[in-house]
Chain A
Amino acid sequence: MTATTIGVLGLFSLVVLILLRIPVAVALGLVGFFGYAALDGFARANLMISGVPVEFGSTYTLSVVPLFTLMGAVAASAGLSSDLFQAGRVLFRGARGSLAIASIFASAMFGAVCGSSVATALTMSKVSIPEMLRAKYPPALAAGAVAAGGTLGILIPPSLILMIYAIIAQQSVAKLFMAALIPGIILTVLYSITALIYYRWLTGNAPEPEYAQRQSETMVRSFARIWHVIVLFGVTLGGIYAGWFTPTEAAAIGALGAILLGLVLGRHKVSDTFTCFFETILLVSSLVFIVIASAVFSYFVVQTGVSNQLIGAVKGIGLDSLGVIVAVCVLYIVLGAFLEGIGMLLITVPITLPLVLSYGYDPVWFGVLLVILIELGLIHPPMGMNLFAINAVSKEINIIDIYKGSAPFLIAPILLIVLMIMFPQIVLWLPAQMN
């Protein structure tokens, strides 16, 4: 059996194992280990796997994951989301669909301190969906706005997916964070425009409900309530951009800052802080376990030479660089229907990254593109983790309405991808300005 055949069989087995409910980490690790053994024998496979846990588990770059996760957990526990939603309500007061836009705005701001999409969707659905339903908004719009807004959590830095991509693709976390910032802002605007149009489409020319307009707070006062989010985001991301801190240092400052602000402002108790630490450790352990297993899998993939065969085959077909990137996008959209985001990233990047690099694409640009493609998977059925998160919290909205409501919001990330392909500087300009 040739190395390529073993590689293809390995990939096929991996997909089968994952679909058979084997944990993603275990499937990656077993296929990687036994595949490597099939190529080079068990002695070499044992040697390869022996160094992986400690080598990968003690990487300095990896430290951004627990620290930024802690910052997000504290932000969620401190109830920042309701202040952000309130500020959004005041900011967009008077506009039709103002509550949906406020929810998207609040999600984007919350994403600036929390790197998880599902956590953002869960937190925001508790705060904004009841308000939208009270204002008699169509349930589908309420669910769609929160599901779409939640995806901003993994695009606007700090992003958990970007951190993991940085580790496996050996790219700079700082550059990836900066690269995702402008696309994150554009996507927030595109989602807001979608909410505006969708509201009009669903309600005809009906005016904004009175309940949604009922706001006595001034703009200054409502923004004064979210100064801590602005400070946290400014210090962490600003510090990285200015070259004052490494991403690990920024994450540590952000985590400690979030804890202190929460305690000083009376937003959470010391016991809540302990809970955040425990939750972070459990989340990080399961993530790092997958990263370690994916390292084993990557060694196997590299050894098979499948990536080189794929590059040769694609060049043989005569696809140009645009054709390749469109094909990669279609592949990820299809995979996103069946696979969870991090798993999809870890399985595919060892194969797709060399392919896109061989066509001259920038690895930082590709990382941001991957995040947007993963976002699509979070809001389209059947997987759509954000949709399930909303379904779990908002029992009054049925899953069909959630599916229907998220559908119009799929246009915005696709439009952003088109813009990124046409104007790569949307992604690459800001990292190039860094100190």
Chain B
Amino acid sequence: MTLERALAHTARACTALGALALAVMMFATNYDVVARSVFRAPLYGAVDIVEMMVLCSAFLGLPEICLRDEQIRVDIVDSFVPPQVIAALKVLALLATILFLGILAANVTHPMVDSWRFGDIKPDTGFPTYPLYALTLFTLIASVAATAVVLIRTFRGRDAS
């Protein structure tokens, strides 16, 4: 299995986990509403669960987005410049993406270590917060790798043509 295929599988697995987190968030909130209204027994820690799951939903799709190179961008310039310039701009965009994701990843490590060292927890469930930082770090690193693969693919495509 090539590195690119392995990364594609990882990215898809991350998206599937994100979908699972979204389902957990939806069911937990519905259960909380019904249990609170009917049995006067709300789900303990519902807010914590939603906050943790929304983080998972938000970040776990990022590697696949990067691999598909489907970030929101303005491509108005495409109608005015020759294809070679567009190709160069695409490379520039990928390099800029790697730089920004790298800055985010590098800086998430500090709060993650602090959270682990000081034993930070979510207020209601008592769930430790460092796994949330770890998950964010993992998705950011996976996204950097995915963008790098797209960059290599772009160069290979150019060489082939």
A residues in contact (CB < 8 Å) with B: 17-27, 29-30, 33, 46, 49-54, 57-60, 62-63, 66-67, 70, 245, 248-249, 252-253, 255-256, 274, 277-278, 280-282, 284-290, 293, 338-340, 342-343, 382-383
B residues in contact (CB < 8 Å) with A: 15-16, 18-19, 22-23, 25-27, 29-30, 32-33, 47, 50-55, 57-62, 64-65, 70-78, 86, 89-90, 92-93, 96-97, 99-100, 103-104, 107-108, 110-111, 129, 132-133, 136, 140
Q: Are B132 and A58 in contact (CB under 8 A)?
A: yes
Name A's interface SS: helix
Q: A281-B57, A288-B58 are in contact. Are A252 and B65 (CB under 8 A)?
A: no
Q: Are A58 and B97 in contact (CB under 8 A)?
A: no
The smallest beta-carbon distance between A420 and chain B, in angstroms, is 28
Q: Are B104 and A284 in contact (CB under 8 A)?
A: no
Q: A21-B89, A29-B100, A285-B65 are in contact. Are A58 and B25 (CB under 8 A)?
A: no
Q: In the complex, what distance in Å separates the CA atom of A282 from the CA atom of B32?
A: 26
Partner of B108, one of A33, A54, A274: A54
Q: Are A66 and B93 in contact (CB under 8 A)?
A: no
The smallest beta-carbon distance between A24 and chain B, in angstroms, is 5
Partner of B74, one of A67, A286, A338: A338
Q: In the complex, what distance in Å separates the CA atom of A285 from the CA atom of B15?
A: 9
Q: Which residues on B sit within 8 Å (CB–CB) of A25?
A: 71-72, 100
Q: Are B60 and A54 in contact (CB under 8 A)?
A: no
Q: In the complex, what distance in Å separates the CA atom of A70 from the CA atom of B19?
A: 10
Closest to A277 in B: B19
The smallest beta-carbon distance between B4 and chain A, in angstroms, is 19
Q: Are A282 and B15 in contact (CB under 8 A)?
A: yes
Partner of B26, one of A52, A252, A274, A382: A252
Task: Report, nearest first, the 7 A-B pairs whose CB atoms are least far apart.
Answer: A285-B61, A252-B29, A23-B71, A288-B58, A277-B19, A58-B55, A281-B18
Q: In the complex, what distance in Å separates the CA atom of A67 from the CA atom of B30?
A: 12
User: Which of B25, B75, B100, B104 counts the most chain A CB atoms within 10 A?
Assistant: B100
Q: Which residues on B sit within 8 Å (CB–CB) of A253?
A: 29-30, 33
Q: Are B73 and A281 in contact (CB under 8 A)?
A: no
